[in-house]
Structure 1
Amino acid sequence: MRVRRVQEVDIPDLSSKLLTARKSSSESLLEICRRLDITPTYWYKLEKAENSTISYDLLKKIDALLSLNLDIRFPEDSEAEKKPEKTMNLSNLKWVKVVTPADDWRSYWAYTSQELTQMKKDGGAVVNNNGVSIFPLGFRQDREDSPAIGDLILLTQHSKVTHIVEVLDEKPEQHGDWFNRYVKVIWWKPEMDWKTLPDRNQVLGFNLVIQSGIFYRFGAFERFNAEWGGRQDAFLKHLTAELEKI
């Protein structure tokens, strides 16, 4: 059993466009009708607007043959364009970490798109293409209370929020005095000048005072608890709204 769904859309001056296209064509009316599998009588009715409707399939054939350049949009197409993008899911955001590149580091910012590309060239296990960015996030101390796989971490540098990343591995790898957790970027603005990003306190909705080197739970900060304590959903809603403004 077939299900039929019919939609109609009005194309102003279609009859005059058909007339102009036919006269501009190097082919005769008989040849045009033969290729479209219609009669000349039916074509003349279209040119004179004596028919109130035309099938979409036939109009597509005419468009392809005579180059009408029609931009036909049905109501459902317009509605699809209006659908908003999915809101970020930050429900697993539990951690924050400050990143402080050394004074002699080659870049003012860490983990930019350019930095990830260079890390990959230097032999690092980095992915940074086709909209996917994965890299080893370095830190100095490994503690028992640390992010679990699937947790989200907010990274801040120079008083800016630069990344939100998802933890991909179950435990850290140690390399000399440093430890690494492999993370995937779920929010950043790699194309922006990060100096123009808003202040992190505005984005977070509280005054964050944090030291570098380790991961902190948001609940470890008195000012977070004073502003958002017991209202995690409200905090995430505020944070999402601020990030979407950027």
Structure 2
Amino acid sequence: MPDGATFRKARPGAPAGFFGCEAAGLRWLGEARRPAAPGGPTGPRVVGVRGVGEDHLDLERVVPAAPTREAAARFGRDLATLHDAGATAWGSPPPGWWGDAFFGPLDDPLPLATGVWDTWADFWGEARLRPVAGQGAERGALTRADTDALHRLADRAGRWETGEPPARVHGDLWSGNVMWTASGRVDDVEAVLIDPAAHGGHREADLAMLALFGAPHLDVVLAAYDTTRPLARGWRHRVAVHQVYPVAVHAVLFGGGYVGQLRQMLDALLA
């Protein structure tokens, strides 16, 4: 496609603010693309917003390319820089956005609580685990035992507290929301972030999402990230912790094997 081409993402009857929230998140993540100092590190490329309305979002069109190990290493470094750009609080929405955000597919997104929490444990329990338990009960997707387990996990959230400050996270960083495209340099490819649920969150959550459904050259991404911004001790043992919420959302929305996967995760974490 020629430079300047636009892709329209649309849904008649979308929840109020759905596309405005996504646009605010993209712009906030994109701020990290500008170096804090000349020649300094930058965040990853983020798809450009061209226009937004109540039922649509106009975006820069991105032409896919095959990812390379070099591009994966650059993405790992850039993602660490994005996270270091920070957020005002745990659970804080992108600047200029007020109210809940959204998490899930375009045709049936779930509300995603935003606000201000003093600790990650409070945020994870009160803004993620307890709400998704309620959503699962309301839709009949989860049993009373399932929702009780989610509430018990929320009660124990402090055991996985790392004491880190809130990061500027994508919030839905599964591999499908990382596009790869030619960078404009000869034989060079770069990652482009799309479809965020951006907020002030835990940087390990973005990495756990990349691992949840598999991402190209994930070992390279993680190694480059850790070299740029070393991860806290024991982070590998917390991957499942950060995957509980997205798996629970999938269980609520799609049922099937995701319910069994959620139960296995809850049993292991509560053991």
Question: TM-score band (shorter)?
Answer: under 0.3
Q: Tell which has more relative contact order, 1 or 2 (C-alpha 8 A, sep 6+).
A: 2
Higher helix share: 2
TM-score for both structures, normalised by structure 2? 0.22
- Return the TM-score normalized by structure 1: 0.24
Q: Max radius of gyration: which structure?
A: 1
Flag the structure with higher strand content. Answer: 1
